[in-house]
Every structure is written in structure tokens, then in C-alpha cells.
Amino acid sequence: MIKEITSKQNAFLKQVLKLLTKKGRLKQGAYILDGLRIVSHAIEQQCDIVCIFVTDDLIEQIEMLDYSGVIYKVSNGIMKMIVETETPQGIVAVIKTSEPKLIPGKVLLLDQIQDPGNLGTLIRTADAAGFTSVMLTKGCTDPYSQKSLRSSMGSIISIPVLVNQDLDEIMSLKTSHRVYGAALEGGTPYQQITYNDQSVLIIGNEGNGISDEVLELVDQRVYIPMHGDVESLNAGIAGGILMFEMVR
């Protein structure tokens, strides 16, 4: 069903625009996905799609997808409001937030990651490396912000991402998983370790590393040896190196 929204004062549009804030996303239990490929992926994954917004030039493409829900045709100006960018891709979907369950295996645990770009990159890399789940501690930035979602490139709907995880939930994994933490002090070079099939990899905050209370749960600390004058790597890059080593 195709409808049209022409006014920027439209009541439903105003509700959707509230999803650009974390408060709005939490209140409505929904978020915005941007781009034809990612929206197509959400349809294929049978996500709970509230509606789709599309500009006139992409109407034919969206009609070819296996989607029978509500489609709102909007102007480029309104589309820019929804995605907060000067170069929108012309299609967005409003998706209901799910409550995924952890899948045991290779689990990435992110502890107080603050940069949305790093967070999205780490989620995407975990998906690419074949990790089974991602856990986020309560101090992490919102994975459903526009910047995080763009960096994750749709992986947020491909791999279970569990938010607001506390120490009890992390401790429960120790009965079945070996826990590795990225930490320089007392660590072993990452290439010298034989990783368990059931493993948790913890990547800590960009500036402070893994928090003390989470670090106490680590079974083995790992680090990436540096050459030259480099002291550390970006969290997204370091996490990628360690994840692919763990599944090698």
C-alpha cells in the first residue's frame, strides 16, 4: 500500500523524526535503517517493519521487493529530515527493535565503547568473521544511532546484538566459554594463543580499555604487538585483527 506524505508537519512523520534521538527510540521501541540494500536485507530477514519511506525515483525498485506493508512516498526534502544527511539514498525503513537471544560460540563483548563508528564497525566485523553474538555493556553508545547503523552496514539485523549487559550476564558465560580480554598489561601476544571454540573476546573503551570489574572476569589477556612509534590501534581495527585470528 503506497501513501504519500507531503507536509513536514504530518503527525506520523513527527513521530518518526523522534527516532533520531535515543530517547525516542527507547520510547517507541524502533529505529531507522537507511539505504536500498540494507532495507532489502531487513525484508529478507523478516524484520518487524513498521513502514518504509521512499522518494519517487525509487518507487519502482521498492515495488519489486517482497514487501506488502505500508510505503510512504516523500520528497527529497522530507527524506533528508528523516536520515539527517545531505545525500540520502532515497529509502528508509522504520524497524521495531527486537530482543535477540545470545547464540553460544564466538561472542564479542564490547565494554563501554563510546564512538558510534567504532561500535558499528565492530558489529559488522563480528558478523563478517562468523561470530555468533555481540554483547554490549551498559556504558556503550547506542547501536541504533544513525552513525552506528551506517557503520554496521546492516549487520545489526544479521547477528544478535544484546544491549545493556551487566556482570551477572557476562559471568554466566564463563561456565561454557573461555574469556579473552584485549589488555596490554599481563597479556600474551595474540598469535601465540590457541583459542577455544567457545570463546568470548572483550574489547574495552577507546581511552581506558576494559573496566576493572569486567577485566576481573577475563581468563586470558591478549595484546597486539606494536612496531615503530605506534602505542595503540583504533578499537575497531584492533578488534578486527583479534576476531579474525580467533576464527582462523
DSSP one-letter string for 83-131: HT-SS--SEEEEEEPP-PPP-SSEEEEE-S---HHHHHHHHHHHHHHT-
Judged against a pLDDT cut of 90, whether residue 86 lies above it is answered with no
**pTM, two decimal places:** 0.92
Q: What is the largest CA-CA distance in the chain?
A: 61
With CA atoms as reference, report the closest residue to 82 among 53, 59, 60, 49. 53
Measured distance CA(159)–CA(209) in Å, rounded:
24
Q: What percent of the chain has pLDDT over 90?
A: 81
CB 191 within 8 A of CB 212: no
pLDDT digits (tens, 9 = 90+) for 19-58: 999 999 999 999 999 999 999 999 999 999 999 999 988 8
Q: pLDDT tens-digit profile of 72-84? A: 999 999 999 998 7
